[in-house]
A and B are shown apart, each in its own frame.
Chain A
Amino acid sequence: MIDIRRGWYDNSALAWQPMSGVALAVCLAVSLAGCPAGRAAETAGEPASRTGDRFAIQAGKVITCAGEPIVNGVILVANGKITAVGKADEVDIPPDYRILDHRDKFAMPGLIDAHSHVGGSISDINEMVYQTNPELRVWDQIIPNNERLKVAVAGGVTTVCYIPGSGTNMGGWGALMKTGPGTLDEVLIRAPGVLKIAQSGNPERRSGEVGSGRMGMNHVIREQLREGMLYTREWDEFEAGRRDAKPRTNLRLEYFKPLFRREIPVVVHTQAYQVIQSTLRILHDEMNLRVVIDHGTFDSYKLSAEIIKRDIPVMAGPRGFRLEPETGQVAGIVAEFYKRGVEKLGINTDAPVIPQEELFFQATMAVRYGWTEERAIRGLTIEPAKALMIDQRVGSLEAGKDADIVITTGSILDPRNYVALVLIDGKVAYDTAVDRRRF
């Protein structure tokens, strides 16, 4: 068996080796000695919920997803934001900062799921009377930190893209949100966050309307997008002063404006070679949208070259494998994209299809089939952040970003490790010392 702790995310470089009493004592001694006088370090087990707004996290390894991992790193947090990340001997911890000592653990950015249905009321995600529903939005039914999200947090997931289901060709507008507790305003990152389009399978109509197959569905999608595009164009013309009459506000089409202005992406339920072709051709080439390929399963990876040419990110899953009929071998979907050069690559759970907390395990299994550990960690964090256009807020540990920080007992890709502490916006959302180990 390959020990995935070797290599890039190997924690053998840590001064502290797992479960050695002597080493632990040495480590604690060092940590205490290293503290400025008059300020005691909190032990790793002490609940961080008592920390104030400004604190420093010491970690054995800081995986920033913005460069090489830092062995013996420090992260400074003030008012919910990261203010500095660096090596322990290079970052000065201001005297009024409290210290969270996790030098026996890893720190990494909070995980991001690009495709989730558990941000709120699950029974309300598919409104399927009409084929296209650009008037619908999910953020009216968000339930912050609901029971599913609580477990998700224990799996290290701090941000999800909560989207309508794939029951129709255009399910409505999704929201990007944090998984931790708070008011709606506090947990929302962006609404409308994304448009959800579904191109095959689930939305097929059998009610006598057009759309019983792929040709019909693509026709419907194109017509609806065209209506939105023309609406946006009218407003663009008016706002640029090239048109005198103010267009009439159409609530049904209003959110197409940020979409066609390329301020938010469209997340597309699309899978299999033929369907991905339509996605590229209609949504990217013809409509000039910011496209995110979600799912991308079956033989979609055979279109990698076309995907790369268009610079489109792929958030693959939840189905991670494909039996190659020619060879009788199982191929890992993500690994196949990777081998063909797709770099903007992440994974999703489609929760609750796969439980939200098992996001990391989607990456683990992708690594099993040939994805690299570094890419897999990025695919859990910064790649979905970029694809969803929220990387200015989340996805890496860098100064200026939200303090969404996950402390693990080692590389999160190793199922033997677990999440010990999760901070969202600098606040403790999960702490094994208080909550016990939930997952």
Chain B
Amino acid sequence: MYRFAIALLVAFHFGCGSTGAEDLVLMAAKAYTAHGPAIEPAVIVIRDGKIAELGAKIELPAGAHVVDLGDAVLVPGFVNAYSQMGISGGSSELTRELTPDFEVLAAIDWESRAFREAVDEGVTTVGISPGTDNVVAGIALAAKTHGKELRRRVLRPNAGLVMTLASDPRSRNRSRSRPDSIYVRQPTNRMGVVWMLRRAIQGARRDESASGVLAEALQGERRIYCVSRTHFDIETIARVAEEFDFAPVIVGGEESHRLAELLATRKLPVILGPLRTSVAAGTEQTDPVWNRAGVLRQAGVQIAMSGPSLLEQARFAVRFGLAADDALRAITCVPAGILGIDERVGTLQAGRDADVVVLDGDPFEFTTNVQAVIIGGAFVVPPDRRTREPGEANQTVGRHAAGSQSRPAPQRTQSGPNSP
């Protein structure tokens, strides 16, 4: 039935026929803004890709396209704070451990199917980081998951510097077994990882006039992310951060719940990696608990979620003890804040990008589906028919479409990931 409704609304939208700067108005039963109280019913006025106005009762602008979404519930587009989404040609440098000035921007296939899948799940913004095989890996970025024009799609080419304090950087290296190999080098284990990180930081810190990415990050000019999963690695990065006076965002954090108090006291946010629920142990043999998000939040730790199926992860967290509004924040405004793009995305409020996910029920009900996704004021799921050519799908509105190249139609389900 709902599919029918969507078809109607798209038809309606199409029927209006005109393009250009006219306003789009969304009407729905409810909106969770991740910013203030829920709005019920919800009216959102979208102008030039931004939210112009929202509220329960708004005087509709003359000539606006009004899309009545009926019983739908609106939430901000989801923000996946950490991923290797779309990286093509290797996410790590193989010949050295310290590559702080490497930019992930250069490695992304913006046409990657991964972005389309993310959009289908309601993820409208993503943080993309280099991989975990380097001790200091390089510079992450934040971008929209959809958009033809790269200049508009990348929100922040420099969203911070990514490090790894875990066993990953040692994975290829050996000591004496292959003396003719490039892989005979430190680190071959954690002690080496810790040392290389400390040495790099001290080197950057020692010389006060030092320029360079690491020095800037340590001076607080760039966000620092550190991938650490086991409790002792997390404790170690907290100790190293104290030694050298910086405040990293912990990424992965599979056992971070064991250090909730420490993380709260030190005000270190955590971007949780996906919780593996089908195996006994997590990555690096970590010992996961299902309410780690709730434990962290209760202690006052700022948390974001990352990985695939963000909404599913948030639902799971709610099921095991995280408050619903904290769960929504953990996939919207908190990751946006961590990535430094919260002036643009992460909440539904006037002035923010019109990135909206249309749900057919409460966000944390397991039966709720993603019905539509709007990025920058344009329906991306399902695609806006005004600009759609026969055999073409998933295009944005108007001016973006003009220079587009054809490509295979994406595999999509209109009703989202939970369709029976």
Binding site for B on A (CB under 8 A): 120-121, 123-130, 133, 135-138, 140-143, 164, 167, 172, 184, 205-208, 248-249, 251-252
Contact assessment for A141 and B176 in the assembled complex, using a CB-CB cutoff below 8 Å = no
State A39–B1 Cα separation when bound (angstroms).
Answer: 74
* Residue from the list B188, B199, B236 in contact with A140, Cβ < 8 A: B236
Fill in one digit per residue for B375-387: 1 if any A CB lies within 8 Å of its CB, else 0: 0000000000000
Contact assessment for B176 and A140 in the assembled complex, using a CB-CB cutoff below 8 Å = no
* Residue from the list A127, A137, A252 in contact with B186, Cβ < 8 A: A127
Give the interface SS of chain B, mostly helix, strand, loop or mixed. helix
Contact assessment for B179 and A208 in the assembled complex, using a CB-CB cutoff below 8 Å = yes
**Nearest Cβ in chain A — how far from B80, in angstroms?**
30
State A366–B277 Cα separation when bound (angstroms).
Answer: 49
Residues of A within 8 A of B186 (CB): 127, 129-130
* Residue from the list B188, B199, B202, B206 in contact with A129, Cβ < 8 A: B188
**Nearest Cβ in chain B — how far from A228, in angstroms?**
16
* Residue from the list B167, B176, B195 in contact with A135, Cβ < 8 A: B195
State A121–B194 Cα separation when bound (angstroms).
Answer: 14
Known: A141-B191, A172-B191. A128 touches B199 (CB 8 A): no
Residues of A within 8 A of B190 (CB): 121, 124, 140-141
Contact assessment for A142 and B232 in the assembled complex, using a CB-CB cutoff below 8 Å = yes
Contact assessment for B199 and A251 in the assembled complex, using a CB-CB cutoff below 8 Å = yes
Apart from the given pairs A129-B184, A248-B206, 10 other A-B contacts in the complex at a CB distance below 8 Å: A121-B190, A123-B189, A125-B191, A127-B189, A129-B192, A135-B199, A136-B192, A140-B236, A141-B233, A207-B176
Which residues in window 158-213 of B have CB below 8 A to A? 167, 173, 175-176, 179, 184-192, 194-195, 198-199, 202, 206
State A125–B170 Cα separation when bound (angstroms).
Answer: 13
Interface membership of B239, Cβ < 8 A: yes
Contact assessment for B199 and A127 in the assembled complex, using a CB-CB cutoff below 8 Å = no
Residues of B within 8 A of A248 (CB): 206
**Nearest Cβ in chain A — how far from B307, in angstroms?**
25
Residues of A within 8 A of B188 (CB): 126-129
Interface membership of B235, Cβ < 8 A: yes
* Residue from the list B176, B202, B230, B231 in contact with A128, Cβ < 8 A: B176
Contact assessment for A184 and B187 in the assembled complex, using a CB-CB cutoff below 8 Å = no
Q: How large is the interface on B (under 10, 10 to 19, 20 to 34, 35 or more residues)?
A: 20 to 34
* Residue from the list A126, A127, A130, A251 in contact with B198, Cβ < 8 A: A251
Q: Which residue of A lies closest to B236 (CB)?
A: A140
* Residue from the list A126, A127, A184, A252 in contact with B232, Cβ < 8 A: A184
Residues of A within 8 A of B198 (CB): 135, 251
State A208–B167 Cα separation when bound (angstroms).
Answer: 28
5 A-B pairs with least C-beta separation: A128-B175, A124-B190, A136-B191, A140-B236, A124-B189
Q: Which residue of B lies closest to A206 (CB)?
A: B176
**Nearest Cβ in chain B — how far from A224, in angstroms?**
15
Residues of B within 8 A of A143 (CB): 230-232
Looking at B186, B195, B198, which has the most chain A CB atoms within 10 Å of its CB? B195
Which residues in window 210-238 of B have CB below 8 A to A? 230-233, 235-236
**Nearest Cβ in chain B — how far from A188, in angstroms?**
11
Fill in one digit per residue for B44-62: 1 if any A CB lies within 8 Å of its CB, else 0: 0000000000000000000
Q: Which residue of A lies closest to B235 (CB)?
A: A184
Contact assessment for A125 and B189 in the assembled complex, using a CB-CB cutoff below 8 Å = yes
Q: Which residue of A lies closest to B285 (CB)?
A: A121
State A252–B191 Cα separation when bound (angstroms).
Answer: 13
State A289–B192 Cα separation when bound (angstroms).
Answer: 26
Residues of B within 8 A of A184 (CB): 232, 235
A-B contact pairs, 7 of them (CB 8 A): A121-B232, A127-B192, A129-B184, A129-B188, A137-B194, A207-B184, A251-B202
Contact assessment for B191 and A138 in the assembled complex, using a CB-CB cutoff below 8 Å = yes
State A129–B170 Cα separation when bound (angstroms).
Answer: 12
**Nearest Cβ in chain B — how far from A220, in angstroms?**
15
Known: A142-B232, A143-B232. A205 touches B176 (CB 8 A): yes
Q: Which residue of A lies closest to B203 (CB)?
A: A251
State A414–B360 Cα separation when bound (angstroms).
Answer: 72
Residues of B within 8 A of A121 (CB): 190, 232
**Nearest Cβ in chain A — how far from B22, in angstroms?**
60
Q: Which residue of A lies closest to B186 (CB)?
A: A129
State A124–B189 Cα separation when bound (angstroms).
Answer: 5
Residues of B within 8 A of A172 (CB): 191
Contact assessment for A127 and B191 in the assembled complex, using a CB-CB cutoff below 8 Å = yes
**Nearest Cβ in chain A — how far from B285, in angstroms?**
10
**Nearest Cβ in chain B — how far from A193, in angstroms?**
15
Q: Which residue of B lies closest to A140 (CB)?
A: B236
Contact assessment for A127 and B187 in the assembled complex, using a CB-CB cutoff below 8 Å = yes
Contact assessment for A207 and B179 in the assembled complex, using a CB-CB cutoff below 8 Å = yes
Residues of A within 8 A of B199 (CB): 135, 251-252
Contact assessment for A141 and B232 in the assembled complex, using a CB-CB cutoff below 8 Å = yes
Which residues in window 358-405 of B have CB below 8 A to A? none
State A222–B232 Cα separation when bound (angstroms).
Answer: 33
Q: Which residue of A lies closest to B194 (CB)?
A: A140
Q: Which residue of B lies closest to A173 (CB)?
A: B191
Q: Which residue of A lies closest to B189 (CB)?
A: A124
**Nearest Cβ in chain A — how far from B4, in angstroms?**
56
Contact assessment for B185 and A129 in the assembled complex, using a CB-CB cutoff below 8 Å = yes
State A167–B176 Cα separation when bound (angstroms).
Answer: 10
Residues of A within 8 A of B233 (CB): 140-141
State A1–B330 Cα separation when bound (angstroms).
Answer: 69
Residues of B within 8 A of A251 (CB): 198-199, 202
State A141–B165 Cα separation when bound (angstroms).
Answer: 11
State A140–B188 Cα separation when bound (angstroms).
Answer: 15
State A123–B232 Cα separation when bound (angstroms).
Answer: 14
Residues of B within 8 A of A167 (CB): 175
Contact assessment for A136 and B195 in the assembled complex, using a CB-CB cutoff below 8 Å = yes
State A230–B230 Cα separation when bound (angstroms).
Answer: 38
**Nearest Cβ in chain A — how far from B318, in angstroms?**
30
Looking at A121, A125, A252, which has the most chain B CB atoms within 10 Å of its CB? A121
**Nearest Cβ in chain B — how far from A172, in angstroms?**
6
Residues of A within 8 A of B176 (CB): 128, 205-207
Which residues in window 71-127 of B have CB below 8 A to A? none
Q: Which residue of B lies closest to A144 (CB)?
A: B232
Q: Which residue of B lies closest to A168 (CB)?
A: B175
Contact assessment for A126 and B235 in the assembled complex, using a CB-CB cutoff below 8 Å = no
Residues of A within 8 A of B202 (CB): 249, 251
State A140–B195 Cα separation when bound (angstroms).
Answer: 10
